[in-house]
Amino acid sequence: MSRDWLIVYLVAGEPSGDVLGGSLMAALKTATGGAVEFRGIGGPAMQEQGLKSQFPMSELSVMGLIEILPHARKLLVRMRETAQAIDNLQPDAVVTIDTPAFAYGVVKRIQTRQIPRIQYVAPQLWAWRPWRVHKFRRQFDHLLALLPFEPDWFAQRGVDCHFVGHPVVEIEIGQSDGVRFRTNHDIDPNALAICVLPGSRQGEVSRLSTPFGETLRRLHEKYPNITAVIPTVPNVADAVMAAFDDIPLRTIIVEDTGDKFSAMAACDVGLAASGTVTLELAMARVPYVAAYKVATVTHWLASILVQVPYANLINFISNREVVPECIQSRCEPDMLFGHICRLLDGAGAGQVNAMRPALEAIGLGSVPPSERAAAAVLQIINKRIK
């Protein structure tokens, strides 16, 4: 190698991947003493670490088998552009973060096969469509797994995979942050607060805002002093504000991502779109209900293809329903309201205690996942250089 610093090309396609990428970039800087340069696609967290995104990350934030179709042509163009940029740059490694469909579409178009190709967040093939594993075996040199059982699953199918832990366990959420949030927003220490997380994509917000909004109305009738705290992200902030503008209880919209975890810690219960935010609520020791809705055709196809009994990761690792799941037809106000009332009336403490073993299984109390991931990336690069 003619230069004395590394170049890593990263690709993230949604807010959770952007946060993951930002933490990885910071860990790589520390591990290399700053002798690393970054290129690629990312959002605010990665840009804060010095990345100038090739195009807006929001263009990749599309989810669902049917929902993606109107965007397919543009995504294909972006795949080709990204692969061409990588071939022109000749980086020391390409790290694609989550968004497996876009990641696969990019790496298979890279002409220079000597560049190490690493997928950070192993695709959940163990949950559905396991036959796709051959595609990842052919196109990626290594997978970095968030879940402890994934390396064995992939190894049995001929794919190199390393467990690094889930990034959620690096979050530092203290009760003092919750107290400060309540003070700053004039929430009485004895008043109830519910953390509402309707998703980070436009489709999620549009589908969940109606059942979530009606649930909040019913909660207000039973608990008149309850406050809804609604953390959101920039790409859906306007939609969230519009969706919850007319509910009768007091609402606090949290747009600053730096306040999100304090907002969670300030709450007594949560109502969240199934996804990474549910693990963040678990880290904040907030009992919650997980909910989700997709297009009808998407749900029908998923019901045929999905091979796991739970949508929520805490439940999957625990092999039981620790967290109530209200998916698709079950995502309706009566059910959501009933589950939240049970948590507020005493069941919440038991849920919080039951979530702890699952958090430990994904790395809580161990070496930070970002440091593990950075070490794995550097090891892969060094092997290729030698």
CA 219, CA 196: separation in Å to the nearest integer? 12
Q: Model's pTM, two decimal places? A: 0.81
- Each residue's pLDDT tens digit, 327-375: 999 999 999 999 999 999 999 999 999 999 999 999 998 899 999 999 9
Alpha helical stretches, state H, the chain:
15-32, 44-48, 72-89, 100-107, 133-139, 150-155, 175-184, 202-222, 237-243, 260-265, 276-283, 296-305, 313-318, 333-342, 348-361, 369-385
3-state secondary structure of 263: helix
CA 232, CA 246: separation in Å to the nearest integer? 17
Task: Let me know: does 11 contact 106? Beta carbons within 8 Å.
Answer: yes
Task: Let me know: does 28 contact 377? Beta carbons within 8 Å.
Answer: yes
What pLDDT, on the 0 to 100 scale, is given for residue 305?
A: 60
Per-residue pLDDT in tens (0 to 9) along the chain, 386 residues: 457 899 999 999 888 899 899 999 999 999 999 999 999 999 999 999 999 999 999 888 654 444 455 567 888 999 999 999 999 999 999 999 988 888 999 999 999 989 999 999 999 888 878 888 998 899 999 999 999 999 999 999 999 999 999 998 988 765 568 999 999 999 999 999 999 999 988 889 999 999 999 999 999 999 999 999 999 988 899 999 999 999 999 999 999 988 999 999 999 999 999 988 999 999 999 999 999 997 776 666 666 666 678 889 999 999 999 999 999 999 999 999 999 999 999 999 999 999 999 999 999 988 999 999 999 999 999 988 76
- Each residue's pLDDT tens digit, 76-107: 999 999 999 999 999 999 999 988 888 999 99
Question: How far, CA to CA in Å, does 13 sit from each of 27, 65, 88, 274, 311?
Answer: 20, 16, 21, 18, 21
The full set of domains in the chain, from first to last, is: 6-165+366-385 (3.40.50.2000), 172-361 (3.40.50.2000)
Two structure tokens written together for 165: 């832990």
Report the chain's terminal Cα–Cα distance, integer Å.
Answer: 10
CA 54, CA 83: separation in Å to the nearest integer? 12
DSSP 276-318: HHHHHHHHTT--EEEEE---HHHHHHHHHHB--S-SSHHHHHH
What pLDDT, on the 0 to 100 scale, is given for residue 32?
A: 97
Pick from 141, 140, 145: which is nearest to 108 by CA?
A: 140
